Structure 1
Amino acid sequence: MVEAERREAGEVLIVTGMSGAGRSTAANALEDLDWYVVDNLPPQMLRPLLDLTEIAAGALPRVAVVVDVRGRDLFADLPDAMRALRERRQIRLMFLDAADDVLVRRFEAVRRPHPLQGDGTILDGIRLERERLAAVRESADVIIDTSRFNIHQLATQITELFTDPAAARHIVTLLSFGFKYGLPPDADLVADMRFLPNPFWNEDLRALTGEDDSVRDFVLAQQGAREFVDAYAAALQPVLEGYQRENKRHSVVAVGCTGGKHRSVVMVRELADRLAAIPGVAVRVKHRDLGRE
């Protein structure tokens, strides 16, 4: 396969490591980054999966596969499978690890046995797993020691390692709405534009919406309107930056007026321009009640 075809086939990441080291958290974080994640795949199925990614081409641009000792005896074939596949494609392997005492505490906290402990102790299972994973660990491209990580810190680490530099780390939806139709149930933050005069009472503007320039000019000419937009955008910036640090991928900022047709629409449009300039933030605009009578 030529290099151009390999690029079209997309990225493949194998996620493995010690049980209790955070594979599920890593898989969830990758899924939030729009990777297609396959969990608990036997190594023998890696080749058919690669065939599928090549057939699908752009439909599966980034695939992450979790392979671990839950595959039992099948897992022993992973080193040989990786060598064969790397001769064919560029594949990365990420290995998650943690100190033995940390892994013991994590298993005790969830009151589950180690998958390899059998009739022995949790520590017996951990030691056996380390033996089986030694060769895999040596071939890893990325090794993450999660001993001092909680699940949020591990998710942050995964996000920093595997986010496309050009991709947004947080998507904020700016939603205009009318209070008379009820608050949006999924709103994280709500702002009220009813402190501004209502264009509805202006006969020349009543039939128009906040997407019309004449309504926009009217609303922004009111006392306090521009000051609000500037101050609210400035207040939202540290919030959206904090959401990125905490791996909160989506938020909804709702902006309301009486009917959701004039003032809130104007303000959402103004906020969108300002928030789109924040690094790592993508802005979506929705007008919930704009089409209502």
Structure 2
Amino acid sequence: MTDLSSPSHDVLIVTGMSGAGRSTVGKALEDLGWYVVDNLPTQMLGPLTDLAERAGESLPKIATVVDVRGGRFFTDPEGAVRRLRDSTTARVRVLFLEATDAVLVRRFEQVRRPHPLQGEDTLLDGIGRERSRLLGLREASDVVIDTSDLNIHQLAARVAEQFAEDRFVGVQVTLMSFGFKYGLPADADMVADVRFLPNPYWVPELREHTGLDADVADYVLAQDGARPFIDRYAAAVEPVLAGYQRENKRHATIAIGCTGGKHRSVAIVAELASLIRGMPNVAVRVKNRDLGRE
């Protein structure tokens, strides 16, 4: 495999479900200075990357949207990505966009357009075919963004957060707290449950505070099992992140959940972040997904 320790330039493959926001992402990337090519046949990924290499510093960041609109030219996309990663000095990443079936149906109905794989069948039939066809590509993706609850401005902000002037070579870890009652994060690579700890919600003087407050954090961390969980979970994650680096997977989302995403998970994420930041070639950002929700 080609050594990517010093990537010559960036190639970002944008793909995912029709209606999940690929056009919005393409425009956001253009605003960030990326050269964006829409609806590229998978067979052209190699020649496009060769062009970028010959262009040198004048074309350092290329993003290409690859999806089922390519029809018969959309063949073996995961194989095409694998071959590209093995044959170039570029940093090749895949961004996969998805959304729930209900959201995709609503978006297609709003624009009054058929799904590209719908044919004579229903919208849901087309969506189901696309999910099956993209399953391997989703598993090969570096970043997955669920746009179900994002408007176009929020999605553009997520793209900017992820891809603006990003030259870090290693694994970028997003540590996310969340509440199980609001659903699992669809873009999580690893999920842990800290509902085994007593809930500060039932302590009247702590209920209105969050895991960001020292009194709540002290309460959570003082519980039996809290510190062993944090230490052992960080130790378990370390070889996973090292393996991600060997496999050139540059992004990981680790989600820690409690009931409402306000107390326990927030406090545990803060402690885990301090440990994971000490691992080699790992950058950490913290996101408290459900903080502030009722």
Aligned match of 2:215: none
- Residue 69 of structure 2 aligns to which amino acid in structure 1? R
- Residue 161 of structure 2 aligns to which amino acid in structure 1? E
How many Å separate the matches in 1 of 2:80 and 2:166? 31
Aligned match of 1:28: 27
RMSD: 1.9
Listed one character per residue, the Cα deviations across residues 42-81 of structure 1 (whole Å, up to 9, x for unaligned) are 0000111011011001111100010000001221221111
Aligned match of 1:267: none
Alpha-carbon offset, residue 4 of structure 1 = 8.7
How many Å separate the matches in 2 of 1:87 and 1:4? 10
Listed one character per residue, the Cα deviations across residues 94-135 of structure 1 (whole Å, up to 9, x for unaligned) are 000000000000000000000000000111100000010000
Q: Do residues 126 (structure 1) and 114 (structure 2) align? A: no
Listed one character per residue, the Cα deviations across residues 12-67 of structure 1 (whole Å, up to 9, x for unaligned) are 00000000000000000000000000000000001110110110011111000100
How many Å separate the matches in 1 of 2:166 and 2:92? 20
For 1:128-277, list aligned pairs within 5 A. Answer: 128-164=129-165
Q: Do residues 112 (structure 1) and 113 (structure 2) align? A: yes
Aligned match of 1:19: 18
Normalised by the size of structure 1, how large is the TM-score? 0.54
How many Å separate the matches in 1 of 2:112 and 2:60? 38
- Residue 116 of structure 1 aligns to which amino acid in structure 2? L
How many Å separate the matches in 2 of 1:133 and 1:116? 12
- Residue 129 of structure 1 aligns to which amino acid in structure 2? E
Structure 2 CA distance for partners of 1:165 and 1:130, relative to 1, 3 Å: closer
Listed one character per residue, the Cα deviations across residues 224-251 of structure 1 (whole Å, up to 9, x for unaligned) are xxxxxxxxxxxxxxxxxxxxxxxxxxxx
Corresponding pairs, count: 165
Give unmatched runs, 5+ long, in structure 1. 167-293
- Residue 154 of structure 1 aligns to which amino acid in structure 2? L
Aligned match of 1:45: 44
Structure 2 CA distance for partners of 1:32 and 1:107, relative to 1, 3 Å: same
8 A Cα contact 2:95 2:144, kept in partner? yes
8 A Cα contact 2:2 2:85, kept in partner? no
8 A Cα contact 2:2 2:86, kept in partner? no
- Residue 110 of structure 1 aligns to which amino acid in structure 2? V
Percent identity of the aligned residues?
59
Normalised by the size of structure 2, how large is the TM-score? 0.54
Secondary structure of the corresponding residue to residue 157 of structure 1? helix
8 A Cα contact 1:17 1:97, kept in partner? yes
- Residue 66 of structure 1 aligns to which amino acid in structure 2? V
8 A Cα contact 1:44 1:77, kept in partner? no
Secondary structure of the corresponding residue to residue 21 of structure 1? coil
- Residue 133 of structure 1 aligns to which amino acid in structure 2? L
How many Å separate the matches in 1 of 2:102 and 2:4? 46
- Residue 95 of structure 2 aligns to which amino acid in structure 1? M
Structure 2 CA distance for partners of 1:5 and 1:125, relative to 1, 3 Å: same
8 A Cα contact 2:2 2:87, kept in partner? no
Give unmatched runs, 5+ long, in structure 2. 168-294
Secondary structure of the corresponding residue to residue 73 of structure 2? helix
Secondary structure of the corresponding residue to residue 94 of structure 1? strand
How many Å separate the matches in 1 of 2:22 and 2:97? 7
How many Å separate the matches in 1 of 2:70 and 2:93? 20
Listed one character per residue, the Cα deviations across residues 187-223 of structure 1 (whole Å, up to 9, x for unaligned) are xxxxxxxxxxxxxxxxxxxxxxxxxxxxxxxxxxxxx
How many Å separate the matches in 2 of 1:6 and 1:129? 35
Aligned match of 1:86: 85
- Residue 54 of structure 1 aligns to which amino acid in structure 2? E
How many Å separate the matches in 2 of 1:6 and 1:119? 49
Structure 2 CA distance for partners of 1:63 and 1:3, relative to 1, 3 Å: same
8 A Cα contact 2:20 2:97, kept in partner? yes
